Amino acid sequence: MKCRTCQTIIEQCYYTAGTATQLMEHIQTCSACRQAWQQQEMITQALTTMPQLAPSDALQANIWQSITARQNTSGFSSLFTKQRLRLWAAAAMLLVLGVTSVLVNQEQHRPAPISFNHKTGVTQPATQPDANKIAGQNKIDETQPAKVPGNVATKQHAATSETKQNSQPVIAKGSGNQEEPIKQTKIRTYRSPFTSFSVSKDKKKSMKTLVGKSEVNQAAQSYTASSGQPSPGQTMAVDAPAQHQFRLYNNKINVNQQEAARITLSLHQGKKLSLAIYSRTGRLVKMIANDFLIPGDYEWQWQGKNSAGETVGSGIYLLLLQLEGEKPQKQQLVVIK
Amino acid sequence: MEPKVSRHESNQSEETDDQLLDKVIAGQAESFNQLVKRYRSRIFSYGYYLLHSCDDAEDMTQETFVRAYLNLKKFRREASFYTWLFRIASNVGYQHIGKLSRQRKMKENYANNQPAGNQQECASPETMLLKTEVQQVVFEAMQQLRPKHREALILKEINGLEVQEVANICRVPEGTIKSRLNRARTELKKQINRMSRLGGELVQ
């Protein structure tokens, strides 16, 4: 047996009948291996002869005392052990943080309210008490969908001279016969003995009826003339640019790859519009929208299909936006097959 | 490599562990006392050699038996009660080691030659332990080992368990235990040689 093998066996303490005999023969002749073996044996013997120690006599009593104490703390009180209390505290903190972050997030996304001074006609940021008030009033405006299918004007006779309606977005007629441009970011409606107008979910047919009602217009007009203030019941146009943003994204679409042109429109006042795709020869390919829309942001997608749902051929097409009373706007788009 | 005290030596004329466990589960809590008496010194020794502190070893022993009693119904009897008990002791011991950084404290305690806790109780083990110079050196060198290696060495060499039992207690494969034992022995030898050189005398 080689010294290396011998020392490996000694280190691992792995003796079999065969290896033990060879080991003994080897260590008779090799002093280094004999020393290693003796050292290992000594350590092993020291370990195996380590005494078994006895605990104190009070151990048994302590054990039962501890068992009794823990059994008494079982049940409901065990929910509030030191370790579990930490877990409860951590869970509560997470809950509070979550609720706080949601509330803060909601608060940050709420637009700043504005106020309108009737006497000066100046729009300015509301003071804090007014801001809270207006914010509460406009809460529904923010959450309402941008598109309202139609408008119904209801004539109401309110007891108070000025009541702010806040339950629905409101479109009202201006003081003149024609529709007043509603320049607004916040819509406010004033009820008066004369009239007030509110939008319901009915179709625009009734809205058109309202527009044509001369008695309402005359009443509002006379009120404005006499008081020098906007007529109660009017929706005020407040602090907003009258620019409509009409954009076409992805004006080159491959219909085989299911691409779609994206059309966006940011409408700042209620308008009747028609949005359609025409071929280069002027043939109507697809009417995308033909409706009365209230102010808001809109988006449509055209996937290269005509009114019959068939995929159109390759070529150049025109996207035409016609807003009532405004110059038509057009965009070109290319369809690839 | 025979264990000093046979595990079942005291059981020959008494009830087996399973019988006692059945009685305890049936409601005879006094039977648990017999189990405590049967295994307390082994658990205590294991704790003492692992933690090198009488107080900690006694705490560990107490906690081990308390946990065993409270969780007796969870014992599936796939392994022997002895192995299960050591498994609990091992967990408790590691908690002690991890929580209080015992190793540093152990060195300090040993350097001061003042074992913490009940001095009367610990005086006897100490004197017994330091009976021979070799044992003293080995005992000191053991405290320099990593806890996992030390645990394997204590269970295998001092408590006389088989490698398979040690593997069950530590919940690792047998090969891992063999590896740990090998490394523990090698490291122990290194430590002994280092201490012998520092002390100016060889073990031999």
Confidence of residue B177 (pLDDT cuts 50, 70, 90): very high
Rounded Cα–Cα distance for residues A62 and A73 (Å):
17
Residue with tokens 């109660």: A232
- The nearest CA of chain B is from the CA of A69 a distance in Å of 10
- CB–CB contact A60 B121 (8 Å): no
Q: Chain A interface residues facing chain B, Cβ-Cβ under 8 Å?
A: 11-13, 35, 38-40, 42-56, 59-60, 62-63, 66-67, 70-71
Which residue do the tokens 């907003």 mark?
A240
Identify which of B93, B96, B189 has the alpha carbon closest to the alpha carbon of residue B144.
B189
- Kindly tell me if the per-residue pLDDT of B144 is higher than 80: yes
Which residue in B44, B60, B92 has the most chain A C-beta atoms within 10 A of its own C-beta, making it the best mutation to test that interface? B44
Question: Which 94-153 residues of chain B touch chain A by CB within 8 A?
Answer: 118, 121, 124-125, 128-129, 131-132, 134-135, 137-139, 153
Contact B192 A71 (CB under 8 A): no
Long-range (24+ apart) CB contacts under 8 A made by A25-34 are A25/A1, A26/A1, A30/A3, A30/A6, A32/A3, A33/A3, A33/A6, A33/A7
CB within 8 A of A57, min separation 6: which ones?
none
Q: Comparing C-alpha atoms, which of A158, A152, A145, A237 is closest to residue A198?
A: A152
Lowest mean pLDDT among A177-191, A261-275, B62-76, B169-183: A177-191
B89 confidence band (pLDDT: 50, 70, 90)? very high
What is the block-wise mean pLDDT of chain A (337 residues), using blocks of 10 residues? 77 71 81 81 82 82 86 65 83 94 84 56 52 48 44 40 41 43 44 42 46 47 48 41 76 87 87 89 89 87 88 90 86 88
B157 vs A42, A48, A71: nearest CB? A48
Q: Where are the alpha helices (DSSP H) in chain A?
A: 3-12, 17-29, 31-48, 58-72, 82-108, 128-137, 139-143, 204-211, 214-227
Q: Is the pTM of this model over 0.90?
A: no
Which tokens go with B169? 């207690």
**Cβ of B70 and A51 within 8 Å?**
no
What is the number of alpha carbons within 13 Å of residue A245 lying toward its C-beta?
8
Distance from CA of B136 to the nearest CA of A (A): 9
Best interface-test mutation with B: which of A31, A47, A57 has the largest number of B CBs within 10 A?
A: A47
- Show Cβ contacts of residue A331 under 8 Å, excluding neighbours closer than 6 positions: A246, A248, A251, A318, A319, A321
- Asked whether the beta carbons of A153 and A206 are under 8 A apart, the reply is yes
Q: What integer is the mean pLDDT of B48-77?
A: 87
Q: Which among A35, A43, A50 has CB closest to B158?
A: A50
Instruction: Tell me if A49 and B4 make a contact (CB, 8 A cut-off).
Output: yes
Using a CB-CB cut-off of 8 Å, the residues of chain B touching A42 are 134, 203-204
